[in-house]
A = this chain, B = another copy of it.
Amino acid sequence: MNIKKFTLTLLTVGITMSPFTLQAKEHPNLILTKPGVERMRDNLGQVPLFDTTLSSVKQEVDAEIAMGIDTPIPKDFSGGYTHQRHKQNFFVAQKAGVLYQVLNDEKYAKYIRDMLFQYEAMYKDLPLHPQERSYSRGKLFWQCLNDSNWLVYMSQAYDAIYDYLSAEERETLETNLFRPFADFISLENPQFFNRVHNHSTWGIAAVGMIGLVMNDEELIQRALYGIEDDGLEVGGKDNDGGTIKVEGQRKGFFANLEEPFSPDGYYTEGPYYQRYAMYPFLIFALAMDNSRPDLKVLQHKDNVLLKGVNALLNLSDADGEFFPINDAQKGMSYYKSSLVSAVDLAYFYGDKNPQLLSVVEKQGEVLLQESGLQAAIDVRDGKAEPFIKQSVNLSDGVNGKQGGIGVLRQGDEDMTLVFKYAAQGLSHGHYDKLSFSMYEKGEEVLQDYGLARFVNIEQKGGGNYLKENKTWAKTTIAHNTLSINQKKHFNGDYDIASQHHSELFTFDAEREDIKVVSATEENAYPGTLMHRTMAMIANDNFEKPFVLDIMRVESDKKNQYDFPFYYFGQVLDMNFKYDTPTSLNPLGDDNGYQHLYVEGKGDAADHNTQFSWLSNGKYYTITSITNSEDEVFFTRIGANDPEFNLRRDPAIMLRRNDTQDTLFVSVVEPHGSYSRVSESSQNSKSSITDLSVVLDSEAYTGIKITDVKGTEQVFIISNEDASKNAKHSVKIDGEKYSWTGPYLYQ
- Residues on A facing B (Cβ under 8 Å): 79, 84, 329-333, 335-337, 454-460, 463, 570-573, 580, 582-586, 597, 599-600, 612, 614, 634, 636, 638-644, 647-648, 650, 674, 676-681, 684-685
Contact = CB atoms under 8 A, between A and B. Distances in A.
A459 B672 CA distance: 13
Contact of A456 (B454, B458, B681): B681
B636 A648 contact: yes
Contacts of A674: 456-457
Contacts of A573: 459-460
Nearest to A648: B648
Contacts of A582: 585-586, 639-640
Contact of A647 (B455, B570, B580, B642): B570
Contact of A583 (B84, B330, B463, B585): B585
Closest 6 CB pairs of A and B: A331-B676, A571-B644, A584-B584, A459-B573, A580-B642, A459-B572
Q: Is the interface of A mostly helix, strand, loop or mixed?
A: loop
A685 B76 CA distance: 15
A448 to B, nearest CB: 15
Contacts of A638: 599
B634 A644 contact: yes
A658 to B, nearest CB: 27
A679 B580 contact: no
B332 A455 contact: no
Contact of A644 (B454, B457, B463, B570): B570
Nearest to A676: B331
Contacts of A331: 676-677
12 contacts: A79-B681, A329-B676, A331-B677, A457-B681, A457-B684, A458-B684, A459-B573, A570-B644, A583-B583, A583-B585, A599-B644, A600-B642
Contacts of A677: 331-333, 335-336
Copies of this chain held together in the complex: 2
Given A457-B681, A634-B644, 9 more contacts: A329-B679, A331-B677, A336-B678, A456-B681, A460-B573, A584-B584, A584-B597, A599-B638, A599-B644
Contact of A457 (B458, B614, B650, B678): B614
A649 to B, nearest CB: 9
Given A684-B458, A684-B459, A330 B647 contact: no
Contacts of A458: 681, 684
Contacts of A459: 572-573, 612, 684-685
Nearest to A455: B679
Contacts of A597: 584
Contacts of A456: 674, 679-681
A297 to B, nearest CB: 28
B684 A332 contact: no
Contacts of A570: 454, 644, 647
Nearest to A638: B599
Contacts of A336: 677-678
Contacts of A84: 680-681
A568 to B, nearest CB: 11
A329, A570, A677: residue with the most chain B Cβ atoms closer than 10 Å:
A677
A459 B641 CA distance: 33
A254 to B, nearest CB: 29
A331 B678 CA distance: 10
Contacts of A571: 643-644
A375 to B, nearest CB: 19
Contacts of A647: 570
A639 B454 CA distance: 29
A332 B644 CA distance: 32
A451 to B, nearest CB: 12
A457, A643, A680, A681: residue with the most chain B Cβ atoms closer than 10 Å:
A681
A725 to B, nearest CB: 46
Contacts of A330: 676
A573 B331 CA distance: 22
Contacts of A454: 570, 614
Contacts of A640: 582
Contacts of A333: 677
A560 B570 CA distance: 34
A218 B424 CA distance: 81
A612 to B, nearest CB: 7
B572 A460 contact: yes
Contacts of A460: 572-573
Nearest to A88: B680
A454 B569 CA distance: 13
A313 to B, nearest CB: 15
A652 to B, nearest CB: 11
B678 A337 contact: yes
A685 B84 CA distance: 14
A586 to B, nearest CB: 7
Contacts of A580: 641-642
A463, A612, A648: residue with the most chain B Cβ atoms closer than 10 Å:
A648
A663 to B, nearest CB: 29
Contacts of A332: 676-677, 679
